[in-house]
Amino acid sequence: MSVPNFPPPRDIDLTNPFWEATDQGELRLPACSVCGAFQWYPVPGFACHPEATRHWREVAHTGTVFTFSKVERAFLPFGSEPPYTLILVALDDVDNARLVTVLVGDDQDSVAIGSRVELSPTVFETHTLPTFRLSA
């Protein structure tokens, strides 16, 4: 199994805090400064409180697989070498946002909806991706 290598854009103020945290081995998502609701992916303003500011909060490094997809063929001619498994993670302390990422580890064939996972970053030369592995 491999991990698709798509370097994140570094010229987007809206998402830079996410990638900067990921490079430090942290996981941060934007939350509404008024009610604390997470909004992922980040977009300008918050639907719940349009006047709110964005607070990047550290979130759990553990969660549950909400759904997954095993990729057997390359979708693009660059940056990805299948096979790999995409997962949608419901983080343990985040109610209203889920993270799309890649599953790593040698035991990927046992993934199922509801599998427990934990952050296991994949470090590339220029960036780090917040990949997850199945929990023991």
Query: Pairing between strand 62-71 and 98-104?
Result: unpaired
Other Cβ atoms closer than 10 A to 3: 17
Piece of the chain touching Zn ion by CB under 5 A; list 48-56, 60-68, 91-99, 117-125:
48-56
Q: Are 72 and 83 in contact (CB under 8 A)?
A: yes
CB of 30 to Zn ion, least distance (A): 11
Q: Between residue 8 and residue 47, which ones bind Zn ion under the rule CB under 5 A? A: 32, 34-35, 37
How many other CB atoms sit within 10 Å of the CB of residue 75?
Answer: 9
The distance of closest approach from Cβ of residue 31 to Zn ion in the complex, given in angstroms and rounded to an integer, is 8
Place of tokens 């964005």: 54
Of 6-14, 19-27, 49-57, 84-92: span binding Zn ion (CB under 5 A): 49-57
The nearest distance, CB 36 to Zn ion, in angstroms, is 7
Chain positions contacting Zn ion, by CB under 5 A: 32, 34-35, 37, 48-49
